[in-house]
Chain A
Amino acid sequence: MHELAAVRIVQEGPVAVVALQGEVDLSNVQEVRGEVLDAVPNSARALILNLSDATYLDSQGIGMLLDITHRLRTRQQQLLLVIPKHTPVWSLLELLSVPNAIPVVGSTQEGVRRLADLPT
């Protein structure tokens, strides 16, 4: 079996940092969703999902991001996306107004700072 995408836990703790690398489409979207959600323990306050190395996302991937936000929200957990500006994935998210629903930052550090400013 080949792996289109990899989900890597970068940092554990109250702010979980997870990197999603590779391509997400209909063939692996369920699996990736499960792996990302599994990486966030109940004790975590927020998830920073780094998409800097996500090379392909389509409507399935966007649906997954919105679904993850929704699920985390019901657990009162925050989601932040890390996406460098002007990449294809960033353009797609802009196009679909995703940043209105999920905060997008340019780097993990920026995400950590942003979360520190937010009331817990």
Chain B
Amino acid sequence: MAIMSLVHLPVAALVIERKETEEQLRQSEDRFRTLYQRERGTVKVLQRSLLPTRLPDLPGLSIASRYIPAIPEPLGGDWFDVLPLPDGRISLVIGDVAGRGVEAAAVMGKLRNALRAYALEGHSPKVVMERLHSVMAPGELASVVLIALDPTTWRISYVNAGHVPPLVLNSGGTVQHLTSKGPPLGTPLQRSYEERTARLTPPCTLLLYTDGLIETRQEGILGRLRRLEEAVVSLPRDDLDSFLSRLIEEIFNGTSPIDDVALLAVGPAVLDPRRFRLELPAEPASLATLRGALRQWLPLTGASEDVASGIILAVGEAATNAIVHAYGPSHERFLVEATADQQGIHIAVRDRGRWRAPRGTSRGRGCEIMRALMDRVDITPGADGTTVTLYRSLQVETPSA
């Protein structure tokens, strides 16, 4: 029967069928467009919820970041992160997951959270990276740079898994690439990553970025890299936020990125010459960190080099006592607070331990040094800790007696 009707009504039937097909095509196209738009929306939402909404406010550091989605659609795998570590260092992260869309954004979310968890457990960048590698599913691939920065000494430890090397922009106008070998996360048979260390010299700026910044259809990647270097050297960096805005302007010159771009810039914060505050773990290694921070701050107060080195020594003695007398194996901290005006500098070093009776002569020598170098020294033992307050006049160069 069907054959019969086809034979009898061939033209009309064909027309109707074509119309149906066209209608179906239109519908499926609409459906596809809706789905596609929905996914695009999902990528955006995922990305927005996975990137830090606000970077942490960290003493001594100034931080700026940007995320620029590709045009016409975001790819979704780029991310950056900043998190304070238990040892006082700051973890700086930038990464790029291969692929696009919801899947890339989801892998990015997985990596970001796993990285945070491992880093907060106190693992070194190398260990964090190796564990991160083990959470990659087959077929997943991502490039990541992880830097642990000591904000007072500006010592860094870093690991690079196949990512574009971060840049260090030195105050003298030189650009240093933080190179380190390592394939992307998810590379089969990869087991270990190399951790490198470097000592940066503030005022410098660390710039972490994803390759979307140096990827164009028109220009080779090397040309772009050179353009990036030229741009970062020429731009003022006193305000990192406007530095990034101008850098993006300079690089893209009104055009749109063909890949997502994530940028993270970190530099030393402008210190307040009237105020200083630093809380450190009660362990010997903190002494060098404390000296580094005071060496940056004291010149701003108007203290001469002699006065500054005397204060650094006296505060060091007070801090040494705090460390020696800290109870418990770990997690004890001590706090150094200082205020300065034109008259002089007040410093308080507080710990939560109780000083034991002097043992040996070096403790007595420490107090002798403090009293000789400062105009006033008070040691106040309390129920919940000992406070040493030091005062050094800036008015006259009092001869130390």
Contacts and interface: CB of A to CB of B under 8 A. Distances in A.
Interface of A: 2, 4, 23, 25-28, 56, 58-60, 62-63, 88, 92, 95-96
Interface in B287-314: 287-288, 291, 306, 309, 312-313
Contacts of B155: 2
Greatest chain B CB density within 10 A among A2, A58, A96 is at: A58
Contacts of B400: 95
Contact of A58 (B306, B316, B372): B316
B284 interface: yes
Given A26-B320, A96-B369, A60 B362 contact: yes
Contact of B368 (A27, A56, A96): A96
Given A2-B155, A60-B320, A88-B309, A25 B369 contact: no
A64 B400 CA distance: 24
Interface in B354-401: 360-363, 365-366, 368-369, 372-373, 400
B58 to A, nearest CB: 21
A25 B316 contact: yes
Greatest chain A CB density within 10 A among B199, B312, B360, B365 is at: B365
Contacts of B361: 63
A1 to B, nearest CB: 9
B317 interface: yes
A63 B369 contact: no
Contacts of A4: 288
Nearest to B290: A25
Contacts of A95: 369, 372-373, 400
B364 to A, nearest CB: 9
Given A56-B291, A88-B309, A26 B324 contact: yes
Contact of A25 (B288, B365, B372, B373): B288
